[in-house]
Amino acid sequence: MQYFYFDHNATTPVAPEVLEATGSCLAEAYGNASSIHHFGQIAKQRMETARRQLADLIHCRPADIVFTSGGTEADNMSVLGVVRGAAGPAKHVVTSAIEHPAVLGPCEQLEQEGVAVTRLRPGPDGIISPEDVAHALRRETVLVSVMHANNELGTVQPIAEIARLAHGAGAVLHVDGVQALGKIPVDVEALGVDLYSMSAHKLYAPKGAGALYVRKGTSMAPVAYGGHHERDRRPGTENVPGIVGLGAAAELAGRNLAAEAERVGGLRDRLEGALLERIPGAGVNGSRAARTPNTSNIYFDEIDGEALVIALDLRGFAVSTGAACSSGALAPSHVLTAIGLSADRARASMRFSLGRSNTAEQVDALVEAVAASVAHLRRISAHA
């Protein structure tokens, strides 16, 4: 059976150009980038080339890029580092209820340390209102953390306006950009962000590498200790092959960004239009305008999302639900319930995230598979 991949927001296949760059690095640049001898300097040069490639993609200075193990580490460095490093006995954080657990988890930890946290709920469109951000800001607010694009809905937040409000209140703005990078243009200077998290494996590069943009002058306490790597921002020997892969992926994304966004957006619209026409009791969750071009989150009433994932996998299609399995019990997605969906509708929702390998023929085949699977599952449910 032939399989087709529609789960690019979870992870992406490694692009051939990236695989070549990573493999070459593994074979030829095996030195420690901190070593001053010939082999170490070769690794250092490869790493600094990757730093420039990534900086070019997000329009910043190479010196502002800190390499990490991925988006989760970058988020933790930002949230914990800024708040713990801020002066004053009373501290406050503003974030959103639809953030990735890599942000929500550190916020929960900070609450245990006595920090106040406000979690803003979006509207039904999945967008955080700048007015709500303004109302939530306090004199003791030290950090605002709002993601650029949501991993489940694809909705894009008004970051530039939120940045203006945060800075007006004297707060640092952190943005989880993991799901935006490579899908929409990112200019950290124009957006006005202070910290921007990125992940390699969402960008057709290997897992285990990521980066954090740190605006010059942004104060952060360390969250790990043990070395002076990455300008004292992040200790530990750098994953040079992974970093080189991230750099190659960034260069590739920059070359094809506009054309690929238009192509994938057309496929996403083709998928949505056909599914909504073919299947009654279906609808799109969140905004259909302000979102990344590759992401669609659709509910199919009277369907169990996990059962639909399995049914589609058996037909040769990889997709994901908007729900997560926790402690053996299927819990509705915190993102979907935050925008007002009932638990049942949240559990009946499916995320389709397209990428470079997808074609119109694959989309049409997916539509047929979804329509047949939904009809079958509804028949089973009706006779249960």
Q: What is the mean pLDDT of the chain?
A: 95
Q: Quick check: 104 pLDDT over 70?
A: yes
Instruction: Supply φ then ψ for residue 32, to 5 degrees.
Output: -80, 125
Band (311; pLDDT cuts 50, 70, 90): very high
Tell me the three state secondary structure of residue 172.
strand
List where CATH 3.40.640.10 sits in the chain: 16-252
Point out the least confidently predicted range of 4-8, 213-217, 276-280, 326-330: 326-330
Q: Quick check: 364 pLDDT over 50?
A: yes
Annotation marks residue 325 as catalytic:
yes
Distance CA 166, CA 172 (A): 7
Q: How does pLDDT run across 142-196, given as a tens digit for each residue? A: 999 999 999 999 999 999 999 999 999 999 999 999 999 999 999 999 999 999 9
The most distant pair of C-alpha atoms in the chain lies apart, rounded to whole Å, by: 72
Q: Quick check: 328 pLDDT over 50?
A: no
Distance CA 100, CA 319 (A): 19
Tell me the three state secondary structure of residue 176.
strand
Distance CA 348, CA 339 (A): 15
What pLDDT is recorded for position 384?
64
Q: What is the mean pLDDT of residues 50-74?
A: 98
Distance CA 371, CA 361 (A): 16
Predicted TM-score (pTM) of the model is 0.96
List where CATH 3.90.1150.10 sits in the chain: 4-11+257-382
Domain 4-11+257-382, classified CATH 3.90.1150.10, yes or no: yes
Distance CA 167, CA 195 (A): 13
Structure token digits, residue 179: 């799901």
- What percentage of residues in the chain have a pLDDT greater than 90? 89
Radius of gyration of the chain (CA): 21
**Cβ contact 290:127 at 8 Å:** yes
Domain 16-252, classified CATH 3.30.830.10, yes or no: no
Q: What is the mean pLDDT of residues 317-339?
A: 77
Which one of the listed residues 25, 60, 107, 325 is annotated catalytic?
325
